[in-house]
Amino acid sequence: MVNKRKYTTNIHAHRLRTMLRREKNSILCPASKEFNPGAPPQELWLGDHGEACTICRAFVGLYNPGAMRSSYKCPCLALGDEDAMKRTERALRRHYGTSTTKNS
């Protein structure tokens, strides 16, 4: 049995950068097993599905504490691929202070 950890912003940034280096498809989920958007994040992390989603959305500036969980959408679906990728790149640069998806 795997010991589950709490999904955090640091874990999200690391997994997001790893995912983007490996995969060019932006409709993936950095919190899920093998980045599969159909796999629920709670398989890997403590907490429910919404916790990882909240961290992901907050990372790119989409956090809305008043929104109901059913209105949450992945950044790619809420913003479109291009805008989601731009926001992701900016967020990763802020987080790491360096290049994001390029092998550096």
Tens digit of each residue's pLDDT (9 = 90 or more) over 22-58 = 877 667 899 999 999 888 888 899 987 678 888 999 9
pTM for the whole thing? 0.81
Tokens of 15: 């997994």
Residue 1's SS3 state is: coil
**CB under 8 A, 24+ apart: contacts of 78-82:** 81/26, 81/27
Q: Which pLDDT value is given to residue 69?
A: 56
Q: Place 104 in a pLDDT band, splitting at 50, 70 and 90.
A: very low
| Residue 83, amino acid | D
Q: What are the residue boundaries of the structural domains of the chain, listed by start?
A: 5-96
